[in-house]
Amino acid sequence: MSYVFHRMPNRPLPIAVAGDGIEVIDSTGKRYIDASGGAAVSCLGHSHRRVIDAIEKQARQLAYAHTSFFTTEAAEALAERLIKAAPAGLGHAYFVSGGSEAMEAALKLARQYFVEIGEPQRKHFIARRQSYHGNTLGALAIGGNAWRREPFLPLLIDAHHVSPCYAYRGRLAGESDEAYAQRLADELERKILELGADTVAAFVAETVVGATAGAVPPVAGYFRKIRAVCEKHGVLLILDEVMCGMGRTGYLYACEEEGVAPDLLTIAKGLGAGYQPIGATLVSDRIYDAIVSGSGFFQHGHTYMGHATACAAALEVQRVIEKENLLANVAARGEQLRAALRERLGEDPHVGDIRGRGLFVGVELVRERAGKTPFEPHRKLHAAIKREAMARGLMVYPMGGTIDGQHGDHILLAPPFICTPDDIDRIVARLGDAVEAALAAAGQ
């Protein structure tokens, strides 16, 4: 009997008691390789000495000071570091406690920006059907994941959805990246015009899609075309890098690789690497200046925003990533991981796609490869893979969900940036065994 209200109360969970590098240890002493970084969070693994020391130092000095009275050295130093490395035009960091809060702030900043500049009718948001932006009611309204939304309909804000950039399923036979990206940009423009161009506040997208479909990168040029459509119609671009940002793709910000700078950019997860809960919304000078010279006050806030200990932890995480040259390791280990997965699982008739960027990698499973037919939802293949992986001492993040009306089973891998070549081999060996066992149990 547990007094904790667990997400799935009928499924008892092991008790995690310790962390050691890339492993989590449970109360029986069993070790699990954390190949999902929890949910793409633990980018430095567990128990990193330098981050623990930074937390202890900050907590002893000043754990917390409310932001209506003070700023702190930790928040200022973290913001400076994030902004100096950020895409052009993003000039300020608004700190919160996680990804959903970062998205809520982004949505409200977009709305308030248009109020400040005298266009209050711009209220609509457009996002993509294959997306997850958080579980608070505003972020949920933007997200396109039907099964998450349905129990809570009608949702609070007006959101509209267009097709995702999902080459494995969405690209037509023989269609080039350029033509596919153009078709999607045209669809966005049609949606903007249908709603009325002067009523749309922002288009929202994950730069690399995470949990809804397992590390789906955009095709080349997609975001540049999307950016151009947004600019043409005065629509803001909000990029959600809660999962794919902070080095996960081998770049500190995933959109660097796209050559696109958004108006608002959200980060969380890897920002605090799990040592402290922290997220941030990076805000363009244009939006910041409109608020400062307008009402002078962003009508939003949370008790724990800019939490000094959380900021100190995140600052140290950033310093470690730089000092240990971890972005280069992410790129190299990511290549190794995808190559090893292709070698182990690439010929399996139920593995439809292996994709991703850096240490953000997805494997999509299909019942039948030629037609890309998904497994029937009742089989819950993703849950069986998770069970088999845990039995073998491996944490991966399998998900099933409705993607454009189809059920898809996929596995998301997001191991810590500190992984060695040997760690990658161990992950792939255990995952290969788990997938084969789950498929065998499903009679495949």
Peptide bond into 154 cis (omega under 30): yes
**Closest distance to ligand PLP from the beta carbon of 268 (Å):** 5
Does residue 103 interact with ligand PLP by CB under 6 A?
Answer: yes
**Closest distance to ligand PLP from the beta carbon of 226 (Å):** 17
- The residue behind tokens 């997850």 is 132
Q: Segment 362-421, which members bind ligand PLP (CB under 6 A)?
A: none
* 8 A C-beta contact, residue 76 and residue 85: no
Does residue 316 interact with ligand PLP by CB under 6 A?
Answer: no
Give the pair of three-digit tokens for residue 140. 């949920």
DSSP letter for each residue of 151-168: GGPSPSS-EEEE----HH
Cα–Cα distance for residue pair 444/440, rounded to 1 Å:
5
- Pick from 36, 42, 58, 100: which binds ligand PLP (CB under 6 A)? 100
Does residue 166 interact with ligand PLP by CB under 6 A?
Answer: no
**Closest distance to ligand PLP from the beta carbon of 257 (Å):** 17
Query: What is the dihedral angle through the alpha carbons of 266, 269, 272, 276, rounded to the nearest 10 degrees?
Result: 120
Does residue 356 interact with ligand PLP by CB under 6 A?
Answer: no
Give the pair of three-digit tokens for residue 100. 């959903």
Give the pair of three-digit tokens for residue 217. 């990168």
Question: In the complex with ligand PLP, which residue's Cβ is closer, 291 or 411?
Answer: 411
Candidates 65-73, 186-194, 203-211, 328-336: pick the segment binding ligand PLP (CB under 6 A): 203-211
Size of the site for ligand PLP (CB under 6 A): 15
Per-residue binder mask for ligand PLP (CB under 6 A), 250-289, x = binder? ------------------x---------------------
Amino acid symbol at 349 = P
**Nearest residue to 340 (alpha-carbon basis) of 365, 361, 366:** 361
- The residue behind tokens 């925003």 is 305
Alpha carbon of 75 to those of 56, 240, 310: distances in Å?
16, 21, 9
**Closest distance to ligand PLP from the beta carbon of 361 (Å):** 15
- Pick from 44, 51, 242, 314: which binds ligand PLP (CB under 6 A)? 242
- Pick from 99, 270, 398, 401: which binds ligand PLP (CB under 6 A)? 99
Q: How far apart are the first and last CA of the chain?
A: 36
Candidates 151-159, 204-212, 326-334, 376-384: pick the segment binding ligand PLP (CB under 6 A): 204-212
Amino acid symbol at 356 = G
Does residue 149 interact with ligand PLP by CB under 6 A?
Answer: no
Site for ligand PLP, rule CB under 6 A: 39, 98-100, 103, 132-134, 206, 210-211, 240, 242-243, 268
